[in-house]
A and B are shown apart, each in its own frame.
Chain A
Amino acid sequence: MATKTKAGPTKYEISINGKTATVVEDTYLLKAVMDAGFNVPTLCHHKDLTPDGTCRLCLCEVETNGKKKLVTACNYPVRSEIKVKTNTEEIKKHRKSLAEMYLGRWPNVETIQNIAKLCGATDKEKYKSDITDENPKACILCGHCVRACSSFMIQDILGFAGRGIKRHLTMPFGDVDPHCVGCTSCGYVCPTGAIQITDEMNNPVDPELIRRHGMKVNAEMATLDKMQNRMREVGTANIVEVMDAYDLLPVHNFKFGKHPDTHKIDSKVMTRDYFTQGAADACWLGCSMACAKAVDGFELKTGPYKGEKVVVDGPEYETAAGGSNMGGFDLDFIVEYNFYCDTYGIDTISFATTIAFVMEAFEAGIITEEHTGGKKLNFGAMDEALECLHEMARGEGFGVEVGQGVRRLKEKWVKELGADPEFLNDIGMEVKGLEFSEYVSKESLAQQAGYAMAIKGPQHDEAWLIFIDMVNNQIPSFDDKAEALYYFPLFRIWFGLLGLCKIVWNDVAPADNSKYPPQEAAKIPEHVENYWKFFEGMTGIPVDEDKMLLQAERVFNLQRLMSYYFGRGTREDDMPPLRAIGPATVEEYLSREERYDKQMKEEIGIDPEGKSAEEKLAITRDHRFKQYNKVIDAAYKRRGWDENGVPTVERLKQIGIDIPEVMALLERPDQ
């Protein structure tokens, strides 16, 4: 598919009250006017909401080709070189008149009084009538709440009723809709205090503080998500094509990082043909990210529910990337295996990674149809993969063996089939017995460690450092990487102590996040602060970075010690398979030969010239394991663990968990 050449946005030189400004096409005039330093009165405008253009106070004169007209600046998109005047006599006259109308109807509302003052309207009596409302907290029909309900929450729980002069704000029939989730956005954006609502289930110390920071994120979701990760549109699957472009999408059991068929399963196809759009897809009430996408009315093609139309939750990124990992570049397949994994109770990640491993073993001849029950399990064998899934549910056949996971298959095949253990260990994508989640970590040392050192097993939710390390090259030294491997796991664990979702932290970022230096920006400082305030607003206890890290570090070490207690959780448990840290086969080496050769020359200092692929692979392997060991050495040190990866007593004291229950975990009979 030919990619369209990206033309940059068109810009226009416009004149505002004689001052020249350069404005990107389709910028709303109000923004341009404000940016140019002029002030225009508004009532219905809200920076985080789509303009509605109903109060009409922001009237400006726009001149195009000699023709003048009045427009509302808030929703007028700049699409030509215009001359703008914001404060002509005519405009002033109309603004005053509009303000008088407002004043006549709602004379005691402070917002109105301020606007009236600004527009030179003073006569409260002029348009006084039988519908004049003396209530200082009256609703002035600005519609902020309606738009917030709709664009913050995709809920549309409240709205206007009646028309003309009878227009008013309400929930249907004047009752509180039982589906109102209590997100409090409406009350937050209301300029007059006409709406009262609180989220009180948790009885927080300071609900206002929580709301103030929560709403910032809601506003970002409403305004920025569509330009950032499009979580509302595609959920977490937004990055399938991104991962492909960065050579990070697992393909064929993590051999490769991209595939020419990725466009068949990318987010464009998902949004166009699969996901229902514009739905309030939040997995918990009040979540504006609404990333729990679903495929509605999906007709199943296999299994016991064949022919039925079902709602499928997802596919999320991991599931879609699991598809590519198995060579299944077909969204129908991905949605189908997604559905059956869910309803049968199977982890899509472990399933896909194990099947991908089985497929590679099948192609390598380690197992044959004889072992698989007649299934030709080559890469891309989607029907066969689904059949394994159905076997898992029936509790029979090869599928049940697959369901024991990569580690047990390796053991079984070595023991029963005499397979080469080294090869299987190199390509079997598991650490500690858990299958890898779906990112290629080969080119990021920090991510390799983030995966393999994760206490529970290789899963990205403890650290996701690929961009920071490999792409941004922000943590070049081992100490830098160790620091990242200290901060991010702890920060991410912190969410798990509080019942929070991490996606809201980092899949949308404030528009001005780039004002921070890159290392800081990666943490999204404003969001981190939001969470501190959230914690404070709930518990009354202020937190800062040190305190937050301390809270997390205690739990982090507790979990590590529990592994130790079971006789595990040491260095050998943190060792990844070769494929996770570099090319594991000649085929793989050759697929990126130029890059690996270059690295050999520049980083290892060995001239690849004249060496066979096998030799080069061996050199690379050796080098990469050395590098890896260096990284975990540094990380252990930063974490206050000994070189075997065991938390030291000193550290436990430092962080205040040297209590008997914890210290008991350190006593191992074999030590």
Chain B
Amino acid sequence: MIEVNNKEKLDWFEGMTVQDVLDKMGYIYPRITVSVNDQLVNKEDYATYKVPDNARVNVFHLAHGG
């Protein structure tokens, strides 16, 4: 089980990547930053960065709107 943005719980599976988390959450907004257990993850690593079980994942969306 992992926790996203201190709120949503997701089932963890072996090999789960940051991209998997984003896909599960439906986070398609382009201006986000992601941290896993407070460690920032680069955009190009989303597909390869493994999320450990019990991780705290924070996906931070920048504001928008005129």
Chain A residues engaging chain B, CB cutoff 8 angstroms = 6-9, 11, 24, 227-230, 236, 239, 241-242, 245-246, 439, 460-461, 464-465, 467-468, 471-474, 476, 488, 501-503, 506-507, 509, 513-514, 518, 521-522, 524
B37 at the binding interface (Cβ < 8 Å): no
By the criterion CB–CB under 8 Å, are A522 and B62 in contact? yes
By the criterion CB–CB under 8 Å, are A501 and B26 in contact? no
CB neighbours of B40 from chain A (8 A): 514
10 further A-B contacts with Cβ under 8 Å, apart from A236-B66, A245-B28, are A229-B64, A246-B26, A246-B27, A467-B63, A471-B59, A506-B63, A506-B64, A509-B62, A513-B62, A521-B60
By the criterion CB–CB under 8 Å, are B45 and A8 in contact? yes
Contact with B33, one of A9, A501, A514 (Cβ below 8 angstroms) = A514
B12 at the binding interface (Cβ < 8 Å): no
Contact with A24, one of B28, B31, B44, B59 (Cβ below 8 angstroms) = B44
CB neighbours of B26 from chain A (8 A): 245-246
Bound complex: CA A228 to CA B6 (Å): 25
Q: How far apart are A515's CB and chain B's nearest CB, in angstroms?
A: 8
By the criterion CB–CB under 8 Å, are B47 and A467 in contact? no
By the criterion CB–CB under 8 Å, are B31 and A228 in contact? yes
Contact with A along B6-39 (1 / 0, CB 8 A): 1100000000010100010011111101000000
By the criterion CB–CB under 8 Å, are B44 and A507 in contact? no
CB neighbours of A474 from chain B (8 A): 60
User: Known contacts being A6-B47, A9-B47, is A241 close to B28, with CB within 8 Å?
Assistant: yes
Contact with B65, one of A9, A24, A460, A476 (Cβ below 8 angstroms) = A460
Bound complex: CA A283 to CA B15 (Å): 48
By the criterion CB–CB under 8 Å, are A472 and B45 in contact? no
Closest to A516 in B: B33
Q: How far apart are B8's CB and chain A's nearest CB, in angstroms?
A: 9
CB neighbours of B5 from chain A (8 A): 471-473
By the criterion CB–CB under 8 Å, are A509 and B31 in contact? yes
Closest to B6 in A: A473
CB neighbours of A502 from chain B (8 A): 65-66
Bound complex: CA A241 to CA B60 (Å): 18
* Interface CB pairs A-B, < 8 A, 29: A7-B47, A8-B19, A8-B46, A8-B48, A11-B44, A227-B30, A228-B30, A229-B64, A230-B30, A239-B64, A245-B29, A246-B26, A461-B65, A464-B63, A464-B65, A467-B29, A467-B62, A468-B61, A471-B59, A471-B61, A472-B58, A472-B60, A476-B6, A513-B62, A514-B33, A514-B40, A518-B33, A521-B60, A522-B63
Q: Which are the 6 A-B pairs with shortest beta-carbon distances?
A: A8-B47, A514-B33, A464-B65, A467-B61, A473-B5, A503-B66
By the criterion CB–CB under 8 Å, are B48 and A239 in contact? no
Bound complex: CA A473 to CA B62 (Å): 12
Interface residues on B, range: 20 to 34
CB neighbours of B27 from chain A (8 A): 245-246, 471
CB neighbours of B23 from chain A (8 A): 6
Contact with A229, one of B28, B31, B47, B48 (Cβ below 8 angstroms) = B31
B contacts with A: majority SS: loop
Q: How far apart are A567's CB and chain B's nearest CB, in angstroms?
A: 31
CB neighbours of B45 from chain A (8 A): 8
CB neighbours of B62 from chain A (8 A): 467, 506, 509, 513, 521-522, 524
User: Known contacts being A246-B29, A521-B33, is A472 close to B59, with CB within 8 Å?
Assistant: yes
Closest to B49 in A: A8
CB neighbours of A522 from chain B (8 A): 62-63
CB neighbours of B58 from chain A (8 A): 472, 518
Q: How far apart are A466's CB and chain B's nearest CB, in angstroms?
A: 8
Q: How far apart are B4's CB and chain A's nearest CB, in angstroms?
A: 9
Bound complex: CA A7 to CA B59 (Å): 19
By the criterion CB–CB under 8 Å, are A6 and B19 in contact? yes
CB neighbours of A24 from chain B (8 A): 44
By the criterion CB–CB under 8 Å, are A464 and B64 in contact? yes
Contact with A472, one of B17, B19, B28, B61 (Cβ below 8 angstroms) = B61
CB neighbours of B60 from chain A (8 A): 472, 474, 514, 518, 521
Contact with B64, one of A8, A245, A467, A518 (Cβ below 8 angstroms) = A467
By the criterion CB–CB under 8 Å, are B7 and A473 in contact? yes
Bound complex: CA A474 to CA B29 (Å): 17
CB neighbours of B64 from chain A (8 A): 229, 239, 464, 467, 506-507
Q: How far apart are A3's CB and chain B's nearest CB, in angstroms?
A: 9
Closest to A507 in B: B64
Bound complex: CA A468 to CA B58 (Å): 12
Bound complex: CA A230 to CA B58 (Å): 24
By the criterion CB–CB under 8 Å, are A461 and B6 in contact? no
Contact with B29, one of A239, A460, A521 (Cβ below 8 angstroms) = A239
Bound complex: CA A229 to CA B23 (Å): 19
Bound complex: CA A501 to CA B65 (Å): 11
Determine which residue in A228, A471, A501 has the highest number of CB atoms from chain B within 10 A of its CB, and name it: A471
CB neighbours of B61 from chain A (8 A): 467-468, 471-472
Closest to A460 in B: B65
Q: How far apart are B29's CB and chain A's nearest CB, in angstroms?
A: 5
Bound complex: CA A229 to CA B30 (Å): 6
Contact with A242, one of B19, B29, B66 (Cβ below 8 angstroms) = B29
CB neighbours of A229 from chain B (8 A): 30-31, 64
CB neighbours of B17 from chain A (8 A): 8
Q: How far apart are A538's CB and chain B's nearest CB, in angstroms?
A: 22
Bound complex: CA A488 to CA B62 (Å): 13
Bound complex: CA A474 to CA B28 (Å): 19
CB neighbours of B33 from chain A (8 A): 513-514, 518, 521
CB neighbours of A471 from chain B (8 A): 5, 27, 59, 61
Q: How far apart are B23's CB and chain A's nearest CB, in angstroms?
A: 7
By the criterion CB–CB under 8 Å, are A242 and B28 in contact? yes
Closest to A471 in B: B61
Q: How far apart are A266's CB and chain B's nearest CB, in angstroms?
A: 11
Q: How far apart are A510's CB and chain B's nearest CB, in angstroms?
A: 11
Q: How far apart are A527's CB and chain B's nearest CB, in angstroms?
A: 11
CB neighbours of A473 from chain B (8 A): 5-7
Q: How far apart are A598's CB and chain B's nearest CB, in angstroms?
A: 11
Closest to B47 in A: A8
CB neighbours of A246 from chain B (8 A): 26-27, 29
Bound complex: CA A474 to CA B33 (Å): 13
Closest to A316 in B: B66
Q: How far apart are A624's CB and chain B's nearest CB, in angstroms?
A: 18
CB neighbours of B30 from chain A (8 A): 227-230
Bound complex: CA A507 to CA B5 (Å): 22
Bound complex: CA A8 to CA B6 (Å): 26
Bound complex: CA A7 to CA B20 (Å): 11
Q: How far apart are A470's CB and chain B's nearest CB, in angstroms?
A: 9
